Structure 1
Amino acid sequence: MSTQAFKRASGILLHPTSLPGNYGIGSLGREAYQFIDTLVLAKQSIWQICPLGPTGYGDSPYQCFSAYAGNPYLIDLEDLVSQKLLQRSELEKLSHLPQDTVDFGALIPLKLDALRKAYQRFVEKIQRSDASSRLAAERFNRFCHEEKDWLEDFSLFMVIKDKFGGVSWDQWPEEFRKRDWAALDAVRSERGDEIQFHKFMQFEFFTQWRAIRSYANNNGIKIIGDMPIFIAYDSADSWSNPEIFLFDEEGRPTHVAGVPPDYFSATGQLWGNPLYDWDYLRKTNFRWWIDVLKDKLSMYDLIRIDHFRGFSAYWAVPYGEKTAINGSWIPAPGKELFTAVKQEIGDAPVIAEDLGVITQDVKELIEFCGFPGMKVLQFAFDSGEENDHLPHTADPNSLMYTGTHDNDTVTGWYTNAPQRDQDYARRYLKSGSSSGKDIHWDFIQAAMASVSSLAVFPLQDVLGLGTEARFNFPGTLGNNWTWRMKPGSLNRRLVDRLADLTQLYGRY
């Protein structure tokens, strides 16, 4: 398979939930467009985000109710006001939510209430006979038809989930767990309006997202989307496609995903995701995976696949274990899968997240695929481990990060690092300050100067923020995914400094 070729460029990692705004969470509205404008002024070419799916328990974008659907909490409410589907007075409670963090518990019921009001007005609108109303109805119906392969099951799944108080689908009555036709048809009849509501939210999300991507591309900005290798157990995908997972007769996993003890956790990480039945997928020529990849390529310019090593071998933990310690590595048919992808899609612009326990078989798979891997500067200065994350050891076919969504910020890392690691970082980076005052800029400059084709920095590192701005702490539940940038924090001084470094190191 041919090696992916990326022009030398750089960009910023910022999930849309972290954008500023007035209604408790970043959205696909004005602030997203302004962020793209700022990327242009900073001479950046990349905006990297986390997965955009609808989040469930724990609010993690890596544990979504669907591999296809969008997160309705990202819908821009100002756009719905401009469509006359909402009145500004109806957003009053949302406007009192905090601006520097996402309080999901307070946000979700308020935003859903606003979206329900918008949906009711949308229904009233498309029932009228004027040209504008007919056009809105046609656009909505066309979206539902084009996306029906996943939209029907997802909307039904969400309605049944609500019917049973939000519990995971493995706790539903048997006729719903096992998708009895009569039981599902009864829900379609009884709760048809609720099903349409979920379709409406997806219609609004994708209408707004496609406009955002178009604006980014038209301004020279490519979007790196993120795709988890595993889907959430409590998802429309596992409920509607049980045959592609390692489930018992009752639809419960025999084993679940995780990783062994590593940099982030002494007991490993027990993710709990269902594992694929690769034997079954092989018989279908990996149809499910190819369809998902096609969908993501319609949303993003490049796709980062999280935990890529799982295509070579994955850590399987017996269902019911409390930690990930008692797992084992099971081989996966990655070369067969990506050969099938190549045959149907061609050279897919995939980025392999190759962090963690990387063995020779994983390296061979990535080399076979030709996908660029990842380097993380925080790992480069860990004196306790051998690594190949230093800029002078990087492969040009790679992305150099100062840190990822799972890392501490650079400033937070430096503050908490052992003194020997601090000293090593300062000496390597030729830091101008023995106190590490501008260590985040030293890291950014080193990433810019590296031979890696792409250099990416979490926005928190550009802002020089500490651990208080960390986005996620792997292996923990609660207080993750909540950080938001403050309005005006990415000021002209920072933008100009980033633009200068971008030009200096030939990434513009």
Structure 2
Amino acid sequence: MKPRQAGVLLHPTSLPNANGRPGQLNAEAWRFLDWMQQAGLRWWQMLPLTEPHEDLSPYQAVSAFALNPALLPDHWQEAIEPEALADYLEAPPHWLEDYALFKTIRQTQNLATWRDWPHALKMREPQALAAFAAEHAEAILQLKTEQFALQQLWRRFKSDANGKGIRLFGDMPIFVAYDSADVWANSQQFMLDAEHNPTVVTGVPPDYFSATGQRWGNPHYNWAVMQDDGFAWWRQRVAAALELFDLVRIDHFRGLEASWQIDASETTAINGHWVRTPGEALLRVLQADFTDSQGRLPLVAEDLGIITPEVVALKERFGLPGMSVLQFGFNGLPDNPHSLAEQVENSVAYTGTHDNDTTLGWFESLDEGAKQWIWQQLQPLAAPHLAKAGLPETMPWLLIDAALHSVAERVIVPMQDWLALDGEHRMNVPGTPDGNWRWQFGWPQVPPELADSIHSLLAQAKRL
């Protein structure tokens, strides 16, 4: 039988920090590891650690490889070992030079998208790039030094987490931002025209939630080129992710079976169409490269939304866990994969995700009839467990207990739910451009007895 475990969803920028700054990989991160260990939580799930654009969304990054420099603690430069830095620069990661060049050019161009850069830099003419690099050598070296410091710090952090019995769970957006070092430096891997503008972009079709669908705008991969070179870019990307994390979620996994292509000239997603992708061939390559000691590919398929039988078959062919979100499980429809009755062992169960309202906020938004119906389903089973743990028979504890007692191998609960916070504390409201990705908790919000109460719940659910 696979071990039953539980964890927390918390992005490092949501850690406490002084002076209102976003959370960093400082003493607070190590303090959080100690708190997790006391609570018996074995998985720390995070959003992508890559550097976001100015809107702070971790899902639209400047680079698919470079870590977010905002995570560096104050006084980080004092910890740099010159000899180790020299070794790093002598044999740098394959992406480092392009990232440092891209970001430096972007800064000199007032953060303009690279399609609007001077033509020679946009098209990566070698002479122009060499001249720019020579002129801005100091700024480029600083960016490389930041990445070295982040890599060193993260290795220590991951080693300490693993030493405490805590494993790290990362997140990989399936697509990358057009305005990124990846597309600029690897234009042949994407569907671009002669001037390196996207010909088709990503999204999802119209559905119950949106009459016009969603036009995300990321460029599509040129899968034929990627397949011809053995998916080298993807293999490098997954290898880098698995150096950082013990387990990685692939966001929008259904895009590995087929993706919604929209002509770049279209302003909505209405007129797109499905195009098959060679996801099975890619996953076979990744399976050969990265199968772990237990014979498992350390990936999780984000399979939320409308999922076809073909996508389910692809996920199951490689034994990948999917996701269930219990907040979605109470619509009364038969065969709802998120309902308590439909949970499966090979999955990760959540009360909610970073895109959901907090569980308390979600419950408070329901009408009284729905609240009563849900309470009647959850309270009889949860009551003795919550009483033993010294917790109230209220939300979010009723749903947390239901998740913990599900058959799912892993259960992940957002930190907002562990803290029983309302909807004012959600991380992201999809479709809204402002105010997202900024939530942080403070230690005064964490009751002294909370870790022991969580430990009790986990013990009762046999998840220690």
Instruction: Tell me the TM-score range normalised by the shorter chain.
Output: over 0.9
State the 1:69 CA deviation. Answer: 0.3
Matched, 1:33 2:30: yes
Amino acid at match of 1:148: P
Partners of 1:383 and 1:421 within 8 A in 2: no
> Structure 1 stretch 286-295 or stretch 324-333: which is displaced more?
324-333
State the partner residue of 2:378: 429
Q: 1:270 to 1:238 in 2, by over 3 A?
A: same
Q: 1-side partners of 2:373 and 2:260: how far apart?
A: 33
Amino acid at match of 1:50: L
State the partner residue of 1:412: 361
State the partner residue of 2:350: 401
List runs of 5+ in structure 1 lacking aligned partners: 86-121, 123-135
Partners of 1:264 and 1:475 within 8 A in 2: no
Q: 2-side partners of 1:306 and 1:228: how far apart?
A: 5
Partners of 1:13 and 1:48 within 8 A in 2: yes
TM (normalized to structure 2)?
Answer: 0.93
Q: 2-side partners of 1:60 and 1:147: how far apart?
A: 27
State the partner residue of 1:334: 279
State the 1:492 CA deviation. Answer: 2.3
Partners of 2:202 and 2:219 within 8 A in 1: yes
State the partner residue of 1:111: none
State the partner residue of 2:423: 467
Q: 2-side partners of 1:261 and 1:157: how far apart?
A: 35
Q: 1-side partners of 2:248 and 2:2: how far apart?
A: 13
State the 1:236 CA deviation. Answer: 0.3
Q: 1-side partners of 2:434 and 2:427: how far apart?
A: 11
Higher relative contact order (CA 8 A, sep 6+): 1
Q: 1-side partners of 2:58 and 2:271: how far apart?
A: 26
State the 1:50 CA deviation. Answer: 0.3
State the 1:164 CA deviation. Answer: 1.1
State the partner residue of 1:150: 95
Partners of 2:88 and 2:148 within 8 A in 1: yes
Matched, 1:180 2:176: no
Give a deviation string over 1:3-38, Cα, whole Å, max 9, x none: xx9521000000000000114110000000000000
Q: 2-side partners of 1:327 and 1:474: how far apart?
A: 21
Match of 1:55 among 22, 45, 52: 52
State the 1:201 CA deviation. Answer: 1.3
State the partner residue of 2:107: 162
Q: 1-side partners of 2:211 and 2:7: how far apart?
A: 32
- Written as runs of structure 1 = structure 2, the 5 A alignment for 1:55-94 is 55-80=52-77, 83=78
Partners of 2:290 and 2:298 within 8 A in 1: no
SS of the equivalent of 2:182 reads helix
Partners of 2:63 and 2:181 within 8 A in 1: yes
State the 1:262 CA deviation. Answer: 4.8
Q: 1-side partners of 2:427 and 2:49: how far apart?
A: 15
Give a deviation string over 1:393-448, Cα, whole Å, max 9, x none: 11100011000011110011111124443233212212689xx9721001110010
SS of the equivalent of 1:149 reads coil
State the partner residue of 1:92: none
Q: 1:421 to 1:369 in 2, by over 3 A?
A: farther
Aligned residues: 450
Q: 1-side partners of 2:76 and 2:141: how far apart?
A: 20
State the partner residue of 1:89: none
State the partner residue of 2:389: none
State the partner residue of 2:388: none
Q: 2-side partners of 1:236 and 1:145: how far apart?
A: 21
State the 1:479 CA deviation. Answer: 0.5
Q: 2-side partners of 1:196 and 1:263: how far apart?
A: 49
State the partner residue of 1:10: 6
- Written as runs of structure 1 = structure 2, the 5 A alignment for 1:296-311 is 296-311=241-256
List runs of 5+ in structure 2 lacking aligned partners: 384-391
Q: 1:189 to 1:324 in 2, by over 3 A?
A: same
Matched, 1:387 2:336: yes
State the partner residue of 1:494: 450
SS of the equivalent of 1:495 reads helix
Match of 1:362 among 311, 321, 329: 311
Match of 1:348 among 288, 297, 305: 297
Q: 2-side partners of 1:418 and 1:263: how far apart?
A: 21
Q: 2-side partners of 1:357 and 1:319: how far apart?
A: 24
State the partner residue of 1:112: none
Give a deviation string over 1:344-383, Cα, whole Å, max 9, x none: 3334300110001101110010011110000000000134
Partners of 2:336 and 2:342 within 8 A in 1: no
Partners of 1:255 and 1:316 within 8 A in 2: yes
Partners of 1:265 and 1:475 within 8 A in 2: no
Amino acid at match of 2:408: S
Amino acid at match of 2:428: N
Matched, 1:277 2:219: no
Partners of 1:228 and 1:307 within 8 A in 2: yes
Q: 1-side partners of 2:167 and 2:219: how far apart?
A: 32
Q: 1-side partners of 2:334 and 2:435: how far apart?
A: 29
- Written as runs of structure 1 = structure 2, the 5 A alignment for 1:287-298 is 287-298=232-243
Partners of 2:14 and 2:23 within 8 A in 1: yes
Amino acid at match of 1:209: W
Give aligned-pair identity as a percent.
Answer: 40
Amino acid at match of 2:41: Q
State the 1:320 CA deviation. Answer: 3.5
Q: 1:63 to 1:448 in 2, by over 3 A?
A: same
Give a deviation string over 1:443-483, Cα, whole Å, max 9, x none: 11001000000000000011111111110111221110011
TM (normalized to structure 1)?
Answer: 0.85
Match of 1:374 among 319, 323, 330: 323
Q: 2-side partners of 1:261 and 1:385: how far apart?
A: 23
State the 1:321 CA deviation. Answer: 2.9
